[in-house]
Amino acid sequence: MAQSELRRNLITKRWVVIATERNRRPSDFHHDRVPTNKLKEDSHSCPFCPGNESLTPKTILEYSGGASWKTRIFPNKFLALAIEGNLNKKRDGIFQTMAGRGAHEVIVATPSHKTVYDLSNEEMTDALWSFKERILDLRKSLDEDGEPKIQYIIVFGNQGEAAGATKEHAHFQLVGLPVVPSASRIEFINCEEYWENENVCLFCELVKQEHREKSRIISENENFLSIADYAGRFPFETWILPKNHLPLFEDGTPEKMRSLAEAFTDIVSRLGKTLNYPPFNIYLRNTPIHERSHDRYYHFYLKIVPHLTEPAGFELGTEFHINPVIPEKAAEYLRESK
Amino acid sequence: MAQSELRRNLITKRWVVIATERNRRPSDFHHDRVPTNKLKEDSHSCPFCPGNESLTPKTILEYSGGASWKTRIFPNKFLALAIEGNLNKKRDGIFQTMAGRGAHEVIVATPSHKTVYDLSNEEMTDALWSFKERILDLRKSLDEDGEPKIQYIIVFGNQGEAAGATKEHAHFQLVGLPVVPSASRIEFINCEEYWENENVCLFCELVKQEHREKSRIISENENFLSIADYAGRFPFETWILPKNHLPLFEDGTPEKMRSLAEAFTDIVSRLGKTLNYPPFNIYLRNTPIHERSHDRYYHFYLKIVPHLTEPAGFELGTEFHINPVIPEKAAEYLRESK
């Protein structure tokens, strides 16, 4: 009986169970699922299609191109966080509270009624560039006391209903938070500790080690490396990282953004082919927008996480995850899928 | 426009967005879901029914009662962790690995083919007592070097397919881990910090504050308090806590176990009635089995988490959760459901 393995990397320091014995093939995850790149909604009533702009809040930013806009950003209709008001930080006994102040925007990535699976490199490059513009703009928002309103910005996307998408038309969301989320904070703490001990950036070390070991590399281009995470929590979880030291997403040049868009569409296409167009989530984890001390030892990155398994009591209780696909095998499947 | 609120308690120190504006009623979560207390599988082929013991690995522990056993424990057929072998801790560059050594057991809580929703107080008392017996036994396992094989034990349960249950016959699972999971570690660190500053147990403070504020109390009995978590990540997430300082689950007397079983079946019944028998997860978070320094400032507890929403890109990226039901409202609905 093959024994399972516990793994972690020093960036998250979070243990993961790699269940070698349950080792699953891609077809084990096809289920009876309808491929999520197949369109179900009617484009006439789609609020993200050109002509239906009146169904959404007012435009914050748009790129024009030919017959309509190419990329369009507006506030989310169902705001999780709003930019107005005071933070009103309060403590009451062992509880703390503050107002949900921040930003919550929707980025429609294409005028065409199609899913993220069908975004072109050009459309994705524009979307990435719009993230950068919004981050640079939100970085400037200050409250009455001259304090930054937003401490951290996350950009994410959901493909397919099971992954939380309520609209199929390709879009991303940006949320500006008044605090740095603990998931990122833990990475900064670990990377800082490594920096202090070793005087090198842990992400630069990761890139070096992945190049040396090769087994987890799925693809790469001039600027970005796409790998299976050694201690990935989810099957076929894929990590896209800058190959050279680049802590801030918003420092990305047009050339870097093009490169990242290519890496992204490449991975999305491989996941689609290998796993029959599963639902997935993506997120962009970045350095905080004001704390610049982390720039020495952090790289922004994209994670693409297919939604293939459901977390249950074990995962909730321990925040350990059981990954039924060995990351090196996942990389192999995805590498061979083109 | 009502603004949402960010909340956290000092135990986890994890911010949660309480989306007041999306404030949902219980019926918003009924969907078209089939109530999970309705049986679908055939008891004849159920490996957890008496007479079918040969379909499972060998019994570790059973309580006898009348015609058949009452509670039965055996190793999980699909072991995530196994008790044999060496840990083989290794570091390779920025990666760390060890063998998946530990324990993984199934506790069948009743000889009757029925779901957790239908467990009696007596059956649940026996199940809790069996958890205690297994914890006390596993605490003793040592490796060749006389080192403890297991550092932490989690007991959990999944009700309904959507919550990860593969069998509907009421059962729980126990996993013994070779490391303390970070979800628990963070709570110990926070509680220790509070203890050092204030010289009181943070959980004792929580119980006091909940009694003072009353708004989050769902029910209570002589020994246990059932509350909506002030900073609950999931709608209708319910917390069952010892009212008096009781750090170790396995220190529970027969009377305490009976009390906890009553609190548990009470909450499960309220969740069922209020939310149309949704899928849910439960877990028992306990002090580590060997580190006794945490006993001063920690209480073991049960969490019951209905599976009503799907985490998406935002939750994955930030580990912030958006809870669309104000905990005080959730407590009100559950309080009134009897």
Probe site for chain B from A318, A322, A326, A328 (most B CB atoms < 10 A): A318
User: Are the beta carbons of A147 and A138 closer than 8 angstroms?
Assistant: no
**CB burial readout B215-252, b (16+ within 10 A) else e:** ebbbbbeebbbbbbbbbbbbbbbbbbbbbeebbbbbeb
H or E element that contains A270: helix A254-275
d(CA A101, CA A65): 33
Chain B, 249-278: which have a CB under 8 Å from a chain A CB? none
The pTM score is 0.94
Residue B23 in this model has a pLDDT that exceeds 80: no
Q: How confident is the model at residue A27 (pLDDT cuts 50, 70, 90)?
A: confident
User: Are the beta carbons of B76 and B106 closer than 8 angstroms?
Assistant: yes
Residues of A in contact with B84 (CB under 8 A): 3
* B-chain residue closest to A22, CA distance: B78
CA distances to A20, A27, A254, A329 from A24, rounded to whole Å, are: 9, 8, 39, 9
Complex ipTM = 0.94
Mean pLDDT of all residues in B245-270: 97
Q: Is A5 on the interface with B (CB under 8 A)?
A: yes
Chain B, 157-176: which have a CB under 8 Å from a chain A CB? 157-158, 162-165, 173, 175
Residue B234: HSE in the Cβ half-sphere, 13 Å Cα cutoff = 18
Residues of A in contact with B175 (CB under 8 A): 314, 318
B115 backbone dihedrals φ, ψ, rounded to 5°: -95, 175
**CB burial readout A151-179, b (16+ within 10 A) else e:** bbbbbbbbbbbbbbbeebbbbbbbbbbbb
d(CA B338, CA A48): 45
Which is more confidently placed, B310 or A263?
A263
Is A8's CB within 8 Å of B158's CB?
A: no
- Taking only the tens place, the pLDDT of each residue in B52-61 is 999 999 999 9
| Domains in chain A: ranges and CATH | 38-335 (3.30.428.10)
The confidence score (pLDDT) of residue B249 equals 98
Probe site for chain A from B211, B314, B323 (most A CB atoms < 10 A): B314
- Taking only the tens place, the pLDDT of each residue in A84-107 is 888 899 999 999 999 999 999 999
The confidence score (pLDDT) of residue B25 equals 87
DSSP label of B57 = P
What DSSP string runs through B285-315? Answer: E---SS-GGGGGS---EEEEEE--S---HHH
Residues of A in contact with B312 (CB under 8 A): 156, 158, 163-165, 281
Is A317's CB within 8 Å of B284's CB?
A: yes
Give Cβ neighbours of residue B50 (< 8 Å, ≥ 6 apart): B67, B68, B69, B111
Q: What is the length of chain B?
A: 338
The confidence score (pLDDT) of residue B310 equals 87
d(CA A198, CA A295): 16
d(CA A99, CA A140): 20
The confidence score (pLDDT) of residue B31 equals 67
- The two three-digit tokens of residue A317, written as one number: 């209780």
The confidence score (pLDDT) of residue A210 equals 98
Nearest Cα residue to A88 out of A98, A78, A79? A98
- Taking only the tens place, the pLDDT of each residue in B255-264 is 999 999 999 9
Chain B, 62-91: which have a CB under 8 Å from a chain A CB? 78-82, 84-85
Residue A203 in this model has a pLDDT that exceeds 90: yes
Q: Left (φ > 0), alpha (ψ -120 to 50) or beta: where does A282 sit?
A: beta
Q: How confident is the model at residue A29 (pLDDT cuts 50, 70, 90)?
A: confident
The confidence score (pLDDT) of residue B65 equals 83
The confidence score (pLDDT) of residue B303 equals 98
Is A154's CB within 8 Å of B314's CB?
A: yes
- The whole-chain average pLDDT of chain A stands at 94
Residue B201 in this model has a pLDDT that exceeds 90: yes
Q: Look-up: residue for tokens 């309509």? A: A68
- The two three-digit tokens of residue B65, written as one number: 């009662």
User: Are the beta carbons of B159 and B116 closer than 8 angstroms?
Assistant: yes
| E strand segments, chain B | 5-9, 16-18, 61-65, 68-75, 90-92, 95-99, 103-108, 152-159, 171-177, 217-220, 224-228, 238-242, 280-285, 301-306, 321-323
- The two three-digit tokens of residue B122, written as one number: 């007596």
- Taking only the tens place, the pLDDT of each residue in A270-283 is 999 999 999 999 99
d(CA B187, CA B184): 5
Mean pLDDT of all residues in A79-87: 84
Residue A236 in this model has a pLDDT that exceeds 70: yes
Cα A17-A19-A21 angle, rounded to 5 deg = 160
- Taking only the tens place, the pLDDT of each residue in A115-163 is 999 999 999 999 999 999 999 999 999 988 888 999 999 999 999 999 9
- Shortest distance between the Cα of B68 and any Cα of chain A, in A, equals 28
The confidence score (pLDDT) of residue A1 equals 46
Mean pLDDT of all residues in B301-323: 94
Q: How confident is the model at residue B1 (pLDDT cuts 50, 70, 90)?
A: very low
Nearest Cα residue to A308 out of A28, A68, A4, A105? A28
Probe site for chain B from A94, A180, A211, A233 (most B CB atoms < 10 A): A94
Q: Which residues lie across from A39 on neighbouring strands?
A: none
Q: Which residues lie across from A253 on neighbouring strands?
A: none
d(CA B102, CA B293): 23
Q: Look-up: residue for tokens 């039924």? A: A324
- The whole-chain average pLDDT of chain B stands at 94
Q: Is B10 on the interface with A (CB under 8 A)?
A: yes
